[in-house]
């Protein structure tokens, strides 16, 4: 079981103890069993990492079926939570009857680095206020020695990413560029592709992806935009980078002018989807097995940096961003 589960579940129950959504009521055996069987079967049919993780999903059926039969009211939520937590997958979760989404697992690297980055500390390295763009999802400005800095806090779907072209134009003549995606939890691959495409000199084939154990046809990302930024680029990453941000990092890693610096990403890339259960609850399950260019799954492994620079919560408390400092030094 995820060693962070007891803490996370305690917080969850505490948060909802005053709500009508987590109140243990009378037994609902038929509804609970219907939800259990649906959740187990859906996961069994689509989840791509059973073999990779060494999970015997069949053996877990009897264990959690018995618990489901004995659960009363919303105690069943905990049964479902525990069963899905066996997958140890940061993309997997479920909703309460009230529609609140709960993730069942947090990767250890994400826990380690969640307070090892702070944008307020980053701002201390500038002698002017950072500019904002893209619905405040991007902030940017020039550092000393004409080194550009762009922070992408998310790749969430939306047209806001089109403003990246204007932001990159601002740094067209910069001697180097830092792209900071630390603590970026992912989003839309369409948005990350828009950024990657501005640094390509030619087509870049996507990494392998398997669905149901079958390798899918490969496709390519083409260069886009009015110009290619060909000066040196440093991408800053950490353990809170997840999902699409890991794809972004791995693709940028293939570009000769780009260096990846920081610490290994969280390790999750399953393209999850929501599935409805008979009661109306939903579960969120990963569907695809994405691979890095070396053939290793993103899941659990993440993307390691080319230059590893450890950074801790203590560094941030002392107003120090060692990863940013190393990136600036490298571009100088």
pLDDT in tens, 39-94: 999 999 999 999 999 999 999 999 999 999 999 888 999 999 999 999 999 999 99
If asked whether residues 41 and 158 sit together in one domain, one would say no
Q: Count H helices and E strands in the chain, helices first.
A: 12, 16
Q: How many domains does the chain have?
A: 2
**51: domain range?**
5-106
If asked whether residues 161 and 202 sit together in one domain, one would say yes
By the 8 A CB rule, do 248 and 181 touch? yes
> pLDDT per residue over 4-36, tens digit each?
444 444 444 434 333 434 444 444 566 899 999
What is each CA distance from 79 to 61, 70, 100, 306, in whole angstroms? 12, 10, 17, 41
If asked whether residues 168 and 52 sit together in one domain, one would say no
> pLDDT per residue over 218-272, tens digit each?
999 999 999 999 999 999 999 999 999 999 999 999 999 999 999 999 999 889 9
Beta partners for 101?
Answer: 95
If asked whether residues 204 and 256 sit together in one domain, one would say yes
* 284: in domain: no
> pLDDT per residue over 162-217, tens digit each?
999 999 999 999 999 999 999 999 999 999 999 999 999 999 999 999 999 999 99
Which residue blocks in 71-128 are alpha helix, DSSP H? 75-85, 108-113, 119-122
Last residue of a domain, one of 106, 138, 154: 106
By the 8 A CB rule, do 260 and 268 touch? no
Element (H, E) at 190: helix 189-197
Q: Residue 70 is part of a domain; what is its CATH number?
A: 3.30.750.44
pLDDT at 264: 98
If asked whether residues 161 and 100 sit together in one domain, one would say no
Beta-carbon neighbour count of residue 203 at 10 Å?
11
Q: What are phi and psi of 196, to 5 degrees?
A: -60, -40
If asked whether residues 214 and 316 sit together in one domain, one would say yes
* 135: in domain: yes
If asked whether residues 141 and 242 sit together in one domain, one would say yes
Q: What distance in Å separates the CA atoms of residue 183 and residue 320, rounded to the nearest whole number?
A: 17
Percent pLDDT > 70 in the chain is 91
């Amino acid at each position: 079981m995820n060693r962070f589960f007891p803490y996370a579940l305690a917080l969850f129950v505490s948060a909802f103890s005053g709500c009508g959504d987590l109140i243990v009521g009378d037994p609902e055996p038929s509804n609970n069993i219907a939800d259990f069987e649906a959740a187990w079967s859906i996961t069994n049919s689509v989840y791509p990492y059973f073999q990779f993780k060494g999970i015997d999903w069949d053996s877990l059926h009897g264990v959690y079926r018995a618990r489901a039969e004995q659960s009363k009211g919303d105690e069943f939520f905990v049964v479902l939570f525990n069963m899905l937590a066996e997958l140890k997958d940061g993309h997997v979760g479920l909703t309460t009857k009230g529609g609140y989404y709960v993730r069942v697992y947090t990767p250890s690297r994400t826990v380690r680095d969640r307070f090892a980055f702070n944008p307020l500390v980053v701002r201390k390295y500038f002698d002017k206020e950072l500019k904002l763009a893209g619905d405040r999802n991007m902030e940017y400005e020039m550092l000393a020695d004409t080194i550009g800095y762009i922070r992408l806090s998310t790749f969430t779907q939306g047209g806001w990413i089109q403003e990246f072209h204007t932001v990159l134009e601002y740094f067209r003549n910069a001697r180097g560029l830092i792209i900071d995606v630390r603590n970026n939890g992912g989003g839309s691959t369409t948005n990350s592709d828009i950024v990657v495409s501005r640094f390509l000199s030619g087509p870049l084939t996507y990494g392998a992806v398997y669905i149901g154990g079958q390798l899918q046809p490969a496709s390519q990302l083409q260069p886009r935009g009015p110009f290619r930024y060909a000066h040196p680029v440093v991408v800053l990453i950490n353990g809170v980078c997840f999902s699409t941000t890991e794809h972004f990092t791995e693709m940028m890693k293939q570009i000769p002018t780009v260096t990846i610096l920081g610490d290994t990403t969280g390790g999750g890339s399953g393209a999850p989807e929501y599935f409805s259960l008979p009661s109306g609850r939903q579960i969120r399950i990963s569907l695809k097995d994405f691979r890095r260019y070396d053939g290793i799954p993103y899941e659990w492994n993440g993307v390691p940096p080319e230059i590893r620079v450890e950074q801790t919560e203590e560094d941030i408390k002392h107003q120090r961003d060692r990863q940013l400092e190393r990136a600036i030094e490298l571009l100088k």
